[in-house]
Amino acid sequence: MKKIKDKKRIGILRGGTEGDYDSSLREGGEIILHIFENLSERWKVVDIFIDKSGVWHMGGVAISPSILPQKVDLVWNVAHHSMANILQSFSIPTINISSFSFLLKQDNDILREHIKELDLNMPKKIVLPLYQADFDARPTGRSFGRGPIEEYTTRKAREVLGKFSAPWIVKTFTPDSDMGIHLAKTFPELMSAIKDGVQHKKSILVEEFISGKNVSIHSVSGFRGEDVYVFPICTDRSHYNLPNGKASFSTEEKDQFMQTARNLHKHLGAEHYLQSNFVLHPKRGIFVTDISFSPDLKKDSHLSQSCELVGAKMHHIVEHILEKAL
């Protein structure tokens, strides 16, 4: 086994004062654990944590980011994307989503306009910001004795109804396994789903339900000698509009999905990785339901299942990303 001094030092930067603090901690923790369990012979993980007040920490000790060039060879940034500016000022190689990628992920309207150039569409969506009692719990003349949360959910449900009709998919704006995903077919079900999001203290995403075949496709830049390597379709995963968790695809449909994923990867300028989530409507064509520039490294993830189809492991992708960044 190689000595520690021969290993490359990979800093995982997480936390911070902006963005989704909890998601950053969780995603960074998954990367740390994955590298430690699968790549520890070649890589030494350094956990770099930014607290909510903006103080940087390493090994439980407050530090200045200026010391990082002496402590790490590479930083994988899962804190706010703007932290890359600080890292680049010290000439540290960085794995980081670009400002443009961050904007595409955060703003569905911009993403919708951008993918129109590929003749793709997206379901209609509306984001309901995090419920704040001091601001949102304002009674109206139609409250009729309802409590503040009940009145708020009714008001927001009406707002959704005015944008697009049922059925609706209701989920947290950032992933939250505790809440899960609601399929609301009626106005009362929509109110109940929004209330669930409020109780989980999350921003809520409500989107138009598109009936059809769902598929998630993963693509990696430069993997296995290809400009963009697209993993084959894996259907062994339950989706909210596939009750039995599987869908059958013709050869033509598979080719269409994979080519669309490759085109989308290039069009969006994904530097390392892209997960493209699609639904194929029988009459309206392919819709892009969601994208992600960060691989899900949990052991039971859809990415892990896709890797198995081609004899790969997720740590092969992770190491490829690390080496490419260096």
In tens, the pLDDT along 77-103 reads 999 988 989 999 999 999 998 889 988
Q: How many residues does the chain have?
A: 326
Which residue's structure tokens are 């993993």? 231
Helix (H, G, I), strand (E, B) or coil at 298: coil
Q: Which residues lie closer than 8 Å to 324 by C-beta, 6 or more apart?
A: 221, 222, 272
Q: Residue 271: what pLDDT?
A: 94
Which pLDDT score is estimated for 247? 65
Per-residue pLDDT at 314:
96
Q: What is the pLDDT of residue 237?
A: 47
Q: Give the CATH class of 4-96.
A: alpha beta
Residues 6+ apart with CB under 8 A from 204: 127, 128, 156, 170, 171, 172, 173, 194, 197, 198
What is the structure's pLDDT at 240? 37
Tell me the pTM. 0.84
CATH number given to 101-121+210-325: 3.30.470.20
Report pLDDT for 200. 84
The pLDDT value given to residue 245: 47
Other Cβ atoms less than 10 A from the Cβ of 161: the count is: 13
- 10-to-68, 73, 74, 111 alpha-carbon distances in Å: 11, 6, 5, 32
Residue ranges, the chain, pLDDT below 50: 1-2, 143-145, 237-245
- Six token digits for residue 288: 């892009």
Residue range(s) in the chain whose domain bears CATH number 3.40.50.20? 4-96
Measuring CA to CA, which residue among 225, 212, 234 is closest to residue 278?
Answer: 212
Q: What are the start and end residues of each CATH 3.30.470.20 domain in the chain?
A: 101-121+210-325
213-246 burial by CB neighbour count: b if 16+ within 10 A, else e?
bbbbbbbbbebeeeebbbbebbbebebeebeeee
Domain limits, CATH 3.30.1490.20, in the chain: 125-208
* pLDDT tens digits for range 98-156: 889 988 988 888 999 999 999 999 999 999 988 876 565 655 555 444 578 888 899 99
Q: Tell me which DSSP letter residue 292 carries.
A: E
Q: Would you say domain 125-208 falls under CATH 3.30.1490.20? A: yes
Angstrom distances, CA of residue 99 to CA of 73, 83, 110, 115, 261: 23, 11, 13, 17, 21
Amino acid type, 316: H
